[in-house]
Amino acid sequence: MHLVFASSLVPCGPPASGFEIANAAIVDGLRRAGARVSHLGFQWPGSTLSEPDETISLGAIDPRTDTASTGRKLAWLLAAVRAGLPFAAAKLRIVDDRRVERALDEAGPVDAVIVNGTGMGGAFERVLTGRPYLYVAHNVEHATAAEAAGHATGPLGRAMYAREARLLRSLETRLVRAAAQTFTLTEEDRAELGLAGSDRARVLPLVMPRSAETPGPRVPAFDIGMIGTWTWAPNRIGLEWFLQSVLPQLPETVTVAIAGQLPAGFPRRDKRVRFLGRVIDAAQFLRQCRVVALTARAGTGVQLKTIETFEAGLPAVATPSSVRGIADIPANARVVDEPAAFAKALADHVVAHRTGALADADGDAFRAGQMARMDAAIAAALAGIGRAVNRDDNREFSARPDYGKTKQRQDDMTMTDIAATDTGCAGADKRDILGVDVCDITRGEAIERLHGEIARGVHRRVAFLNAHSANIAATDAEFRRTLSRFVVLSDGIGVDLAALMLYGRHFRANLNGTDFVPALLAGATGPLRVALYGATPGTAERAAAAFAAIDDRHEYRALAHGYIDAQEQGRMLEALAEWRPDILLVALGVPAQEKWIVRNIAPNHCTLALGVGALFDFVAGSVPRAPDWVRRIRMEWVYRLLLEPRRLWRRYLLGNPLFLARIVRQKAGHRPWDEDRA
């Protein structure tokens, strides 16, 4: 699936602001799910694009209000009033709708747009919402504006914020009403936008970008630390609450450090407080503080500094507003609201940390939980977008030749009928790669279609074709014929390059089984029964436990390892037919697993049967996955080669060039497999 992430600011260097950090986390999550994400928007003046090949810049702009000149602010205000737009949207109208339309055309075939907030959503609403889209609500903008109006010090400020609140409420209502899916960052925001319980809205937990450097030992320089962009009104409200209501109740011996940009002329009231301004390394600053104070009192959305604190495992005292969107509060964090209780909790934490009674928590466990929930939400959202894309393109699954029958006819089909029709790509677009028909389909479409098969009880086999398995199919006619009875999905950069060489465009998504199967499970709307068979002794059991830890809605059952004898296999198949799971995962390696499925698995054994290769090893932790950035550039095969050179050198160093040579021969018309199809 190709998504265009339309945002006021495109990536230009490491993310600095909370908005940029959240954007990076969302894009990383979408790419982990297999989507191709391109950027569309504006860049900072004089900046260099971080991803020039995946970015279309609409021009340069500095949208910050706090650093803009008075003349610039007045020009923005006049433009907003003249156009009837919110202030943030009016800033971006330095190009017209036609330029944005051309940019979307330049991006190539696009499945859906990510409308990132009300800035771009308001400035170019007609263009960006003219196709299926996902709306990202970082905050409930109209509620934030209304709060700011309540805290404004003069009638002009109150009037301006009240106008913003009114326009933003109308805009947000339109954006969420027409969106195929909406991401909010907290459950409260989801309800505020009128989407509580809706299957078109997902609460998206976030994670922070990780540095490659291992942090050194903690050497506290301050008792209490705070960090934020204090020029933003909701943050400033929390800072002023702390300085006016909490600080006076802290012991005189407690030291406080506050990092981040302050509003111009902000008073510095207490000599115990050191205002450090912007710091180069926010994470390192927090590690220099015994306890982190999280003081949000206003606004909506999630507090990224809370996530950063909890991922670092640091002791903290937080207001309830600071932990919006956080499912699991670490044991060394206290949540209190009243100033006196907040001050006491801070003082107690400081003393406990000084004496060694309060330790850092396991930040990695917190991060893993956040990421698991994030990936599940993204997988479900992509499935929803896939449904919208299908409707938009008039490519509903029921229209395919084999299953374009009435629902009553589907219900009346016998198991023999179903098995007889279980072939090929089931009506999806396909590409011939060395004699194997590979479905050209987005991740969301594939997940939606397979869940439709589960709902109807339709037996189907699924395989994944990469360069290695394609090489085997090129010389193994039985394997090639076996794959003709599977829905075959594209796996890896090799077959993607082959599609480009043969057909002039990439596959619509990289659907490697290691990422696709967890996304398939996460995208289920109800509990499933999932059976695991294969791999080395004990691995299937560990993989089942790991799957359950990620998504405990489903029932997982490890049947056997991959080295049982024929008698044990017979007993296993009897037990499998008695249980009849929705999904059977078979990890015997290529081509053994596909041949075993065709020879042994009938419709009475399961609904979906998938050959998954090394999936159990990855999920169980027996073999480490490549880092996210390696997977994003699609070089995981290099990482695996470095891990297991003796086992994999022949597959990659000899097999990859051989695969490309075979593709060149196919391009030239050499197609010996056509004899199989005669």
Task: Dump pLDDT digits (tens) for 259-278.
Answer: 988 887 777 767 889 998 88
Average pLDDT (579-583) is 94
Q: Give the highest mean pLDDT range of 85-94, 260-269, 623-632.
A: 85-94
**What's the confidence (pLDDT) of residue 65?**
82
Q: How far apart are CA 326 and CA 309, in angstroms?
A: 12
Assess contact for 444 and 1: CB atoms under 8 A: yes
DSSP state for residue 300 in the 8-state scheme: S
Reduced to 3 states, what is the DSSP secondary structure of residue 112?
strand
Residue 53 has pLDDT above 70, yes or no: yes
What's 376-430 look like in SS3? HHHHHHHHHHHHHHHHHHCCCHHHCCCCCCCHHHHHHCCHHHHHHHCCCCCCCCE
Average pLDDT (657-675) is 83
**What's the confidence (pLDDT) of residue 393?**
45
Longest dimension (CA), the chain: 89
Residue 25 has pLDDT above 70, yes or no: yes
Lowest-confidence pick of 46-60, 215-229, 467-481: 215-229
**pLDDT tens digits, residue range 277-330?**
888 888 889 999 999 999 988 766 678 889 989 998 999 999 998 988 888 899
Q: How far apart are CA 255 and CA 263, in angstroms?
A: 22
Q: To 10 degrees, what angle do helices 141-151 and 233-241 make?
A: 50
Average pLDDT (440-445) is 89
**What's the confidence (pLDDT) of residue 92?**
92
Structure-block tokens of residue 245: 């209501």
The residue that leads in pLDDT, 592 or 153, is 592
**What's the confidence (pLDDT) of residue 395?**
35
Lowest-confidence pick of 5-14, 16-25, 590-599, 639-648: 639-648
Average pLDDT (631-658) is 76
Q: Give start-end residues of each CATH 3.40.50.2000 domain in the chain.
A: 2-203, 222-368
Model pTM? Answer: 0.55
Assess contact for 259 and 279: CB atoms under 8 A: yes
What is 2-203's CATH topology?
A: Rossmann fold (3.40.50)
**What is 222-368's CATH superfamily?**
Glycogen Phosphorylase B; (3.40.50.2000)
Residue 404 has pLDDT above 60, yes or no: no
**What's the confidence (pLDDT) of residue 628?**
74
Q: What is the mean pLDDT of the chain?
A: 86
Structure-block tokens of residue 645: 């050179």
Average pLDDT (570-588) is 94
3-state DSSP: the chain helix, strand, coil percent, rounded to 5?
Answer: 50, 15, 35
Residue 21 has pLDDT above 50, yes or no: yes
**What's the confidence (pLDDT) of residue 526?**
85
